[in-house]
Structure 1
Amino acid sequence: MNNAINAICDECEQEYLITGLETENIGEDIEKTFFTCPHCDKEYIAFYTDSEIRNLQTEIRSYQWQLGKVQTVKRRDRLLKQIEQTQAKNKEKMTALRHMIENQ
């Protein structure tokens, strides 16, 4: 399976494949996940995380794993609700973190 994504750089207008993301620790428990144009080195930030966000992401993956093994509709519905609530909380935290970092 090929997970590469075609992209065109806003800066140099060259086409390239995004084959993966890089992660860099930028201090205070914050990680920046990004990719870079191989032609001009323009950096595109995908997202930022801190330990709380990474814990929420782990929690979401755990619920999704449990969902694959669920045997009752009631349990499935409860897990789906937990996933939805945790994803909403995660999105809110990620948006706030991005805003804090990029508007300093």
Structure 2
Amino acid sequence: MATVKHQIVDCDECKHKFKLKPSILKTEKVGEEVERTYFKCPKCKHKFIVVYKDKEFNNNLIEIDNIRKKATKVSANNKDLKELINLQNKLHERNLEISGMYKKIYGA
């Protein structure tokens, strides 16, 4: 059985080091259709925002997953592969914009 390695995080507030495990990630609704994913330092409870998501963000994630599946069926030298990569990058950039917009509204 493979061992899963978790990222080690240093708390900005108390400098406590801890593993970022999926079990400490929490999601809360902050707007009509906006969710915030975050985690807290287990020692001082300082809150770290990971991402904000809305319907468009989630639809983009689904499309990115579909693009990855299509890309595995295309040869590396194919023009279609470059187009798929460009589309994936655009969707990723859009999701960064969406999350950044909500960070300005709801806080980082």
Shorter-normalised TM range: 0.7 to 0.9
Q: What SS does the corresponding residue of 2:39 show, helix, strand or coil?
A: strand
Are positions 1:88 and 2:90 aligned together? Answer: no
**TM-score after normalising by structure 1:** 0.84
Give how far 1:23 is off.
Answer: 1.6
Deviation at residue 16 of structure 1 after TM alignment: 1.3
| Identical amino acids, percent of aligned pairs | 27
Task: Report Cα offsets for 1:16-67 as digits up to 9, x if no partner.
Answer: 1111222222231111111111112111111111111111121112111211
Instruction: Quote the offset at 1:96 in angstroms.
Output: 1.3
Q: Which runs of structure 2 are paired with 1:8-87 in the superposition (5 Å)?
A: 8-20=10-22, 21-71=25-75, 73-87=78-92
Return 5+ residue gaps in structure 1 as ranges.
none
Q: 1:33 to 1:3 in 2, by over 3 A?
A: farther
Instruction: Return the offset for 1:102.
Output: 2.0
CA distance in 2: counterparts of 1:89 and 1:33, whole angstroms: 18
Change (3 A) 1:13 1:81: closer
TM-score under structure 2 length normalisation: 0.81
Q: Which amino acid aligns with 1:26?
A: V
Q: Partners of 1:47 and 1:101 in 2: how far apart?
A: 11
Q: Unaligned 5+ residue runs, structure 2?
A: none
In 1, Cα distance between equivalents of 2:11 and 2:82: 42
Secondary structure of the corresponding residue to residue 69 of structure 1: coil
